[in-house]
Each structure stands twice: as C-alpha cells, then as structure tokens.
Amino acid sequence: MSDPIIYHIDVNSAFLSWEAARRLEEHPDSPDIRTIASAIGGSEELRHGIVLAKSLPAKKCGVITGEPLAHARRKCPNLTVFPPDFSLYVKRSNEFLALLREYAPEVEAYSIDEAFCDMTGTSQLYGDLTAFAHTLKETIRSRLGFTVNIGVSSNRLLAKMASDFEKPDKVHTLFPNELPAKFWPLPIEDLFFVGKSTAKKLRSFGIQTIGGLAQADHAMIVSLLKTHGDTIWHYANGIETAELTHEAPMNKGYGNSLTLHYDVTDADYAKRVLLSLCETTGARIRDAGAYISVVQIQIVDNEFHQRCRQTTLPSSTNVTEKIYDAACRLFDSLWDGAPIRLLGVCTSRASTESYEQYSLFDSGKDERLAKLNLAVDSIRKRYGEDAVKRACFVEPEQTKKDISHMAGGLSKAKRNL
C-alpha cells in the first residue's frame, strides 16, 4: 500500500490575483495589478473599507489583510484599490477546483481559495509527487492565469503548514522527518490553531516555539489548555488523524454583525437592525438543521468601545422571533445611549437536538412560529430572499433609512451565488 501524499494548494492573494487575471484576459496590454501597490477593498462610503487582499508591493509597504483602507493608505500613499467582485471569485474558485479534479482522485475544498488533494497512489501516473507538484503549479498558472503555493506532506496539517512557508508561487515539503529543521524552530504563533491568547499563555510557561510545545510534557499542556492543548500538542508533533473528508464539522454557533452607515442613537432603529441580523442568523441556523440555546449581542460605539452581553434561553430554538426577543432584552440592559457604530448578534451552544420548556400561556405558539419560519425559508430559497419581507422593512419611511431586511455576514450578492 502506498504511503499517503497530500497536497494543500493555496491561491496566492486570491481576490487580487483573480481580478488581475480577468483584467489581463480582457486587456492583455494593461499592467498587471499584482506588480503595483494594490489591494481589493470594501466600500469606504459604507464604512466597510477594509483590505481583503493585497499585492506583494503593498505588503512590502506594511499593508495587511483586514486593516482599514484609511490605515493602508497612510502606509502606502500610492495604493490603488479595486472593489470586490464575489461572482468573479466564485467562478474562479470553481475553475480552480475543476482543474484539480482532473489530476487528483479526491479533492476537498477547504475555502474559496484553498483545497486539499489526496494524491496517494498516483505516483504510477505522475512519477515523483513532489516534482509533480511543481508541474501542477505551472499548469494552474498557464491555464488559469494565477499562481498558487503547494504544500506536500503525509497529512493535511503538515501540507497546510508547508504551503504557508515562503510565498508566492512556491512548492514546499514538510514530512515528519523534516519537522526538526523546518517546523520546530518556528514561533509558536505560526502553529495552526494557536491564536494570540493561547500563544500568550504558552509563552508565559516558557514555550516560545513549535518545537518547545512538541517537546513539552503532554499532561502539563492538557492540564493548562484542556482538549485544545491536546490538539495543539499533537499538531506540534505533526500528528493529525482526521481523514480527508468533504463534510465540514457542525458550527458551534451562528451570528452576524453590521457596521452601520452612520452612528445610530435611536433605539427603535437599532432594534430594527437587530431584527435584520436575527433574520439572517435564524435562516442560517435552520438551514444547518441546528438549534441554539445562548444569544449574545455586541455593541461597538463611535469611540470603538465594545460591549457584549449574553443570555441562556430556557429552551433551545431556531425561531427568529425568539432569538430577536432575547436580543432586544439584552440591548435594553446593555446600551448606555452612546452613538452606535456596529451591532452584532451571536448564538452559541448549537446542537442538532431541540428541547422545549412549555408554557401554559404560549402553548402551540412556538410550533406555529417554527413552521412559519420554515415556510418563509422555502419561499426565499425558491424565489429569492426579497420575496418575503417583514412589514417594518417595506414602509416608505423605513426604506429611506436603507436597512436591509437580511443584514450582516455575507452580502446579498454573495448569499445569492
């Protein structure tokens, strides 16, 4: 039986690369925006102006993904910004995956611009599979017009870590025998699944590198970080036992947030925004066949002070109205009157099983609401999300305020793709 070989293939600066490829296809003599200081960014007018992707020259100026465009322009005054086109990204992603399926027996889309390929047993077709990774990288570049990094290893974890080494347009290996030289000297923050708070805690115990974690006492790490510690200790040792699968794990929670077009001081307006967020969140929960039992809201004011509060529901639910009622109660107890810049609704403790605490006074009401929600979901899936709206979102005085009846998370354009 052949030893397992996994590729992790990551498109370099995907959104910007796909925009660059389109421009060169349409106008071959135009400049390649990947060679200038450029970025893909959201709408600054709607206060969604953050960097979604950046070119290498922009990166050298200090521009980072996720920062406000205003900050990026201060670092890089000559930065050229292009608006996102999510229909293009979905099209390019599908082309990318289709090409991989021509060569790999099994392909797992990890995100819109990343995929794992199980190449086990294909050496009789392609020869040395590390050498073939270079061939595949060049095939993607010549046929699709953008570059990728490919990590090659015996499992998904190490393949993904390898693809994050030097970029762009590179192939890297990270096999178990290469861990001491290539993997263990890296700072602990570079390990997959280690965030800032975990890294800070590990550093407080003198663990500075991935190798330091790998060589630490397993029981001590588990005592410190519980099941998360067990996971990352195994990751540091290159051990990842999950098999290549097309099925994503169930979310632990669902939520959305929205940066408002202007600072809000009207409680009724703020609650209408909460309703639109609950509408989208509830639809996602039902689509996943899930139920939640904790609701949290987030308020960010115009001074960027963030406040959060949560409540545990007496019964698990996927009903939009029950989530909204909880969100409003939380809002009333949390808001101090400061102008609101951002509102968010988050739910947690998701499961596939529901439990209900019945009330003598509301007998049957929740069941009717649940059926109504499912009927509305069905209509929206068939005829579009605008086919059914709550009355408060179609009154003339409210439409002037431009609140989408389903806000937050993916934009309408992205949800409809």
d(CA 220, CA 358): 45
Q: Where are the beta strands (DSSP E) in 42-141?
A: 51-54, 80-82, 106-111, 114-118
Residue 45 known to be catalytic: no
d(CA 107, CA 98): 9
Q: How many CB atoms lie within 10 A of CB 31?
A: 13
Cβ atoms of residues 160 and 191 within 8 Å: no
Place of tokens 């390929």: 117
What would the DSSP string read from start to end of 369-395?
HHHHHHHHHHHHHHH-GGGS--GGGTS
Distances (CA, A) of 214 to 132, 197, 223, 341: 31, 18, 15, 43
Expressed in angstroms, the distance from the first to the final Cα of the chain is 41
Active-site residue, selected from the candidate residues 114, 279, 321, 385: 114
d(CA 97, CA 115): 8
Cβ atoms of residues 330 and 277 within 8 Å: no
Distances (CA, A) of 84 to 39, 42, 51, 137, 233: 10, 7, 10, 25, 38
3-state secondary structure of 119: coil
Which residues are part of the catalytic machinery?
Answer: 114
